[in-house]
């Protein structure tokens, strides 16, 4: 297929492109605005691969989106472009409303106009795959069953509300206009090339630099962790074999409390690079909780695993060790980001 993929220089989008290009099965048209969290370097060898082309454009620009469809005639869309950091959405929700809601609307309208021109096999096979988050489902209490595709929506932050709105738009365009849409929801992702404000790289880098390791509240908030390369493989399976109208919940069954994640990072880093000042757990600093902080997210991926013939290859310990090795071996990349654009004080989730 030729896939028009939005947000391909972001954390998850770049992983999808690396996976697709390595497999050789698809050509990727990468639509990216190249905002603060984007990195062309994250594409690695895919950046200049003949199966990948980068189009610098904003998904809220209707003319640019229509032009991209007309020029590239894609067989499918994978929509990953989004503002994704909860703390940033609390500080400034306008960008989240504009990109996540208006941008999705603009892209849907461009896809709908393009889809109307298709005929025969190309029309039958076209898909619009919208990539979303488990945060649209709200919060779980300890002991509640994990989220699944039937869980009612109950978003609690400007970020999750904007993603919930975009999910509803996608499904409405499917029901009203017959656009063959698919939605997937995922848990917290982690791995190589994640922007340094997200929880795992933030804690890892601060620990390396012997800085305080900020933990919200009592650290008991729980997230379900998925290695980004595993998620990328699942997303490609969805766009290849997914059923229009379906929702796929993608997870790895690896829930951890935030404080457990922080302590695991400290322990692994102490093994690899012992500090002369002692165990890095001494740097843990509890800070005031953020407004509306959801207690727990967790996904039941069983239905998606059966439908796609996919399961996550990495457990949390293996994936975390690989992630730490990657950041240790790519210090020039994150040091430049922290030096130029990022203060290092935000705490984050980990979707994109």
**DSSP reduced 3-state for 303:** helix
Domain-located, residue 200:
no
Q: What is the pLDDT of residue 99?
A: 95
Domain-located, residue 288:
no
Q: What is the pLDDT of residues 238-288, one digit of tens each?
A: 999 999 999 999 999 999 999 999 999 999 999 999 999 999 999 999 999
Query: Is residue 344 pLDDT above 60, yes or no?
Result: no
Decide if 327 is catalytic: no
Q: What is the pLDDT of residue 289?
A: 87
Domain-located, residue 138:
yes
Q: What is the pLDDT of residue 97?
A: 94
Domain-located, residue 321:
no
Q: What is the pLDDT of residues 309-340, one digit of tens each?
A: 999 999 999 999 999 999 999 999 999 988 77
Decide if 281 is catalytic: no
Domain count, the chain: 1
How many angstroms separate the CA atoms of 60 and 105, rounded? 8
Residue 192 is classified by DSSP as T
Domain-located, residue 309:
yes
Average pLDDT, rounded, for the chain:
94
Decide if 240 is catalytic: no
Query: Is residue 143 pLDDT above 90, yes or no?
Result: yes
Q: What is the pLDDT of residue 341?
A: 56
**DSSP reduced 3-state for 84:** coil
CA-wise closest residue to 111 among 29, 34, 9:
29
Tokens describing residue 183: 């939605």
CA-wise closest residue to 304 among 247, 261, 344, 348:
247
Phi/psi of residue 31, nearest 5 degrees = -95, 115
What are the helix (H) ranges across the chain? 11-23, 62-72, 86-91, 94-96, 103-115, 120-125, 158-177, 199-208, 228-241, 258-272, 302-308, 316-329, 331-340
Catalytic residue among 58, 83, 115, 159: 159
Catalytic residue among 134, 224, 233, 305: 134
Domain-located, residue 272:
no
How many angstroms separate the CA atoms of 307 and 311, rounded? 11
Give me the domain span that covers residue 14.
Answer: 2-190+227-253+293-313
Provide the CATH number for the domain around residue 306: 3.40.50.720
Query: Quick check: 329 and 24 in contact, CB under 8 A?
Result: no
Sheet of strand 247-250, all strands in order from the earlier edge strand to the far edge: 52-56, 27-32, 2-6, 76-79, 127-133, 181-186, 247-250
Domain-located, residue 112:
yes
């Amino acid at each position: 297929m030729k896939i028009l993929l939005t947000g391909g220089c972001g954390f998850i989008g770049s992983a999808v492109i690396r996976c697709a290009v390595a497999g050789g099965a698809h050509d990727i048209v990468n639509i990216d605005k190249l905002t603060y969290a984007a990195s062309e370097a994250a594409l690695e060898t895919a950046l200049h691969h003949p199966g990948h082309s980068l189009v610098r454009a904003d998904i809220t620009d209707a003319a640019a989106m229509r032009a991209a469809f007309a020029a590239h005639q894609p067989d499918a869309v994978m929509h990953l472009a989004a503002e994704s950091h909860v703390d940033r959405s609390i500080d400034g929700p306008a960008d989240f409303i504009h990109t996540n809601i208006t941008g999705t609307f603009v892209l849907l309208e461009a896809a709908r106009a393009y889809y109307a021109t298709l005929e025969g096999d190309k029309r039958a096979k076209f898909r619009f795959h919208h990539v979303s988050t488990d945060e649209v489902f709200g919060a779980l209490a300890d002991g509640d069953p994990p989220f699944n595709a039937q869980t009612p929506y109950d978003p609690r932050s400007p970020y999750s509300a904007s993603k919930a709105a975009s999910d509803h738009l996608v499904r409405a365009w499917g029901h009203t206009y017959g656009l063959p849409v698919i939605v997937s929801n995922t848990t917290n992702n982690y791995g190589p090339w994640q922007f340094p404000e997200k929880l795992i790289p933030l804690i890892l880098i601060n620990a390396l630099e012997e800085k305080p390791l900020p933990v919200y509240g009592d650290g008991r908030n729980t997230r379900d962790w998925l290695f980004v390369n595993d998620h990328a493989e699942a997303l490609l399976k969805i766009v290849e074999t997914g059923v229009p109208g379906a929702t796929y919940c993608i997870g790895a069954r690896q829930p951890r409390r935030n404080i457990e994640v922080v302590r695991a990072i400290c322990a692994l880093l102490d093994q690899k690079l012992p500090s002369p000042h002692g165990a890095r757990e001494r740097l843990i600093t509890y800070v005031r909780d953020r407004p509306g902080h959801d207690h727990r997210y967790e996904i039941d991926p069983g239905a998606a695993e059966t439908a796609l013939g996919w399961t996550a290859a990495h457990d949390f310990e293996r994936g975390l060790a690989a992630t730490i090795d990657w950041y240790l071996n790519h210090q020039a990349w994150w040091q430049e980001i922290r030096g130029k654009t990022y203060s290092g004080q935000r705490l984050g989730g980990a979707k994109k």
